[in-house]
Amino acid sequence: MSSKSGSILVSAPWVHDNLRSIKVLDCSWYLPFLGRDCKKEFSKAHVPGARFFDIDEIKDQTKGDLPHMIPQPEFFGATMDRFGIRNSDHVVVYDSAGVGPACRVFWTFQAMGHGNVSVLNGGLPEWTACKYRTESGDNTPPALKPTNVPEAAQYKAHPVDSLVCDYTQVIGAIEKLKASGGADGLQIVDARPHGRFTGKEPEFRPGLSSGHMPHSISVPATEVIELPDPANPSVQMLKSPDKIRRLFSDAGVDLHRPIITTCGSGVAASVLYFALLSAGIGQHNLAVYDGSWS
């Protein structure tokens, strides 16, 4: 895939050559039980000029019982003001996994109507593998609280509601799939590891049972990633469009029908959303179940 302005997937060399004309966000995040401190890691090393986008803080503050739900448009706009991001800016998102949580933030920008957004393929590991310099320190402004959101943000979010799927829509899709034996309606594609999909492995969040929604299809998010250099397994990059299309087709997904992606909380689901988009599936046929299994 080309790495040019307007591409949703860009290379480290392209980002390096265009740093002065883009806004860069580090969107690293890990499952809580891994014990990683992404803010501390960001302070030690990040792409020059990057700000840290914390999906656990830049979220819907009214739904504290659900992890990193998509933020309200006003809250998102005010946060972009603090980050110095304008509606016209080309935003490049990356993470320290390669192609992971950055896809969640990519989807968030698209759901807010900001189409000029790209993911750095390979993330920070690829950046460092290319021997580009990193910065230390943290110039990210403190997170906004619901009580101090300005009334009028300069950045104006224009929500694209079709990209966000809720519980009611999922239930409706399941009922239609049941009635047609899976032949009609929105397809539900689950990005969690296959063991959690089948129920053989437990969910890591307390109180959640494993298993899957009726008529959903398993395509683990890890399957859209590959290691371009086995000698350097820290660099994980997105598979080619042909490989991605074949992966979904082989799993039983009809790429000509609408798709809802889901997972544990909406992060891995966004990886599938991004992979499908990169493989040429139209945005009008894709949505992420926000909150997902949680």
Dist. CA 144–CA 76, nearest whole Å: 10
- The H or E element that residue 108 is part of is helix 101-111
Q: What are phi and psi of 245, to 5 degrees?
A: -60, -40
Dist. CA 261–CA 246, nearest whole Å: 17
- Please name the amino acid found at residue 135: E
Q: Which of 6, 273, 271, 77 is nearest to 163 (CA)?
A: 273
Whether 263 is a known active-site residue: answer: yes
* Sole residue written with tokens 């009726």: 214
Q: Is 151 exposed, middle or buried (0-12, 13-18, 19+ CB in 10 A)?
A: exposed
Q: What are phi and psi of 127, to 5 degrees?
A: -60, -45
Selecting among 27, 38, 103, 263, the annotated active-site residue is 263
**Positions of E strands within 138-289:** 164-165, 187-190, 217-218, 225-226, 237-238, 259-262, 286-289
Residues in the chain: 294
Provide the pairing of β-strand 187-190 with 259-262: parallel
Question: Which residues participate in catalysis according to the annotation?
Answer: 263
